[in-house]
Structures are given as structure tokens and as C-alpha cells.
Structure 1
Amino acid sequence: MSSTRRKLAVRLLRTDWSEWNRSLRAKLLSPVFVLLGGLTSVLLQTGLAHGGAEPRLDGVVTGVFAVGSLVLGLVVLALVD
């Protein structure tokens, strides 16, 4: 378990891509994760608006979804890599 934590910490907390086994995969999928998070946020907010709820702070929600999707995607990718 500690090796998994170490692997995640080394790959996710560094500012370069040198620790990744396949750094090109992580570089190419990072924008995809951000776009998927933004798309999910827009679809969720659209569904809520059609349901009668008034979306507030929609830009903040979209940013949180985009960053959350990026972090989750990179964590999963680091575990697989």
C-alpha cells in the first residue's frame, strides 16, 4: 500500500512528466479530462435549469468540475501507469 501512495505522490506532486512511464499519454489525456469535466458540468446545470432550479455560480461550478475531473483522471491514470 505504501508503494502505491509513493507512486501517486511522486507522479502527481511533481511539476514535470519525468516520473511517468508513458508521459505522452498523461500529457494528451489532461485536456481531455478537463473537457469532460466541463461538459459534465454544463450538462448537469442544463438539466437542473430545465427542472426548474436556478443555477448559481455556474462558472465556479464548471471550474470545480473541470479541476475535479482532471485530478480524478490523473489519479486513475497514475494508478494504471
Structure 2
Amino acid sequence: MERELIVERTQAGLAAARSRGRIGGRPQSLSFAQQQEAQKLLANGHSRKQLALLYDVSLASIYKYCPVNRNARTGQNGFDEK
């Protein structure tokens, strides 16, 4: 009974926050524009380590936004099926 009340109030609070524009969660370390720019710089020959230093983020963050296999985030393997 009490647990259901807590869940109900929590859900109502989250819905109210969403209606005010609050998304929640940890903010991304790179904005969408920075992600696009980093991908362009990587394509132009910059190393991932240079990008990490440029944007003051970890190397892991750069690999997250600019994966080695471009299809890694979609789950595709990049091979043509025959």
C-alpha cells in the first residue's frame, strides 16, 4: 500500500518535471555540434588523443562519440551480406 503511494507520487513528479522540460540524467560531455565537429576532425586526420585534449574530455568519451567502426552504435557489423 505505502509502496504503491510512493511509486505513484514519484511517477507524478517525473511527469511534471518532463512537462517543464527537465529530462534528467547525466549531461553529455560533448554537445551535438561538438560531436559533429569531432567526427569531421577525425576524418581529416586528427587523432582521437588530439580530440580528447582539444575538447578536454577523456579518450573513452571520444571513442563513444567517434567509434572505430562507424556502425558500432547501431549494432551493424559493416559487412555486406551475400
Structure of greater Rg: 2
TM-score, length basis structure 1: 0.27
Larger RCO of the pair (alpha carbons < 8 Å, separation 6+): 1
Structure with the bigger percentage of helix: 1
